[in-house]
Amino acid sequence: MTAAPSDNVSDSVASIAPRDKAEILAQALPYIRKFHGKTIVIKYGGNAMTDPALQQDFAEDVVLLKLVGMNPVVVHGGGPQIEDALAKIGKKGTFIQGMRVTDAETMEVVEWVLAGQVQQDIVGLINVAGGKAVGLTGRDGGLIRAKKLVMTDRDDPSKIHDVGQVGEIESIDPSVVTALQDDQFIPVISPLGFGADNENYNINADVVAGKLAEVLRAEKLMMLTNTPGVLDKSGQLLTDLSAREIDELFADGTISGGMLPKIQSALDAAKNGVNTVHIIDGRVPHAMLLEVLTEQAFGTMIRSR
């Protein structure tokens, strides 16, 4: 499914009768009550980050969730933007088991793109939509401490891959995030951490979102993707997965590539206190609102049992 043009969406909303609009709002009330005061961590990526109409939808959704009493926290990726920036300097990104290999030159590009261009674009979108967003990296308030990731080959445990300045999270101190939430700000977090010797690390955004959701004891973790959710080998959407079923999908190769860290992070979060984890289709306009405020599901729910 692709995003509908924003003017078409506006036309369809305008055509709804006032009585029907009131009924829609009334049906959302139980969900607003249920999730009032709860933290929702959102991994923002994919087409939702690059399509102008979907960018606006995302910003409006985040602001509305905040205005009705929820506490959204945004963790963003930036893969396409990083690829574009690397191409400008004649460099092509490489990946091992879903992780970007990050040498020193690539690390400079990653920092500039994530903490500069992408983060500030998201902050601006949310602020224009009526919210109060503040950008953070892992350095701010000592948010994300990391160490160099030691990546073992999935098929040969005796083999180690060197992926450069890719970080593994050692600890998360959420105090700066909770302080911003208490002051009614919306945190927008770039997945960059720092080490014991002040070195910089690029960390997979799905991993950061998952660990942050655990530490914040989030009610929901929502991961926006470019797919309808997790698909089986025949391309059918799997709407509800248990830990055992996910292990089987790993083993038979159904889940591979860039989906590996995403699904693993989702599963870890579900096992460690996050109430529900959803991998949703970010190409659907207002997919987050539909997920939070209606019975309609747009993707795959991960559960620990």
Phi, psi of 224 (to 5 degrees): -85, 130
User: CA 184, CA 106: separation in Å to the nearest integer?
Assistant: 35
- pLDDT at position 151, please? 87
Strands (E), 185-229: 186-189, 192-194, 200-202, 220-225
- pLDDT at position 189, please? 98
Q: Binding site for substrate: residue ranges?
A: 78-79, 100, 202
Report yes or no on 32 lying in a domain.
Answer: no
Report yes or no on 129 lying in a domain.
Answer: yes
Confidence of residue 16 (pLDDT cuts 50, 70, 90): low
pLDDT at 71 over 90: yes
CATH (domain of 212): 3.40.1160.10
Mean pLDDT confidence for 191-207: 94
- pLDDT at position 13, please? 45
- pLDDT at position 299, please? 83
**Comparing 121 with 94, which gets the higher pLDDT?**
121
pLDDT at 72 over 90: yes
Overall domain count for the chain:
1
10-14, 25-29, 102-106 — most confident range: 102-106
Residue-wise pLDDT tens digits, 106-157: 999 999 999 999 999 999 999 999 999 999 999 999 999 999 998 888 888 8
Report yes or no on 19 lying in a domain.
Answer: no
Report yes or no on 15 lying in a domain.
Answer: no
pLDDT at 219 over 90: yes
Q: What's the domain range around 165?
A: 37-302
Residue-wise pLDDT tens digits, 47-62: 678 888 999 999 999 9
Report yes or no on 25 lying in a domain.
Answer: no
pLDDT at 15 over 80: no
Percent of the chain having pLDDT more than 90?
50
pLDDT at 295 over 80: no
- pLDDT at position 297, please? 65
Report yes or no on 296 lying in a domain.
Answer: yes
Mean pLDDT confidence for 289-293: 86
Query: What mean pLDDT value characterizes the chain?
Result: 86
- pLDDT at position 5, please? 39
Q: Binding site: residue ranges?
A: 78-79, 100, 202
Report yes or no on 220 lying in a domain.
Answer: yes
**Would you call 146 exposed, middle or buried from its count of C-beta atoms within 10 A (0-12, 13-18, 19+)?**
buried
- pLDDT at position 305, please? 61
53-78 per-residue burial string, b: 16 or more CB within 10 A, e: under 16: bbbbbbbbbbbbbbebebbbbbbbbb
- Crossing angle between the packed helical segments 243-251 and 259-271, to the nearest 10 degrees: 160
pTM of the model: 0.87
pLDDT at 89 over 80: yes
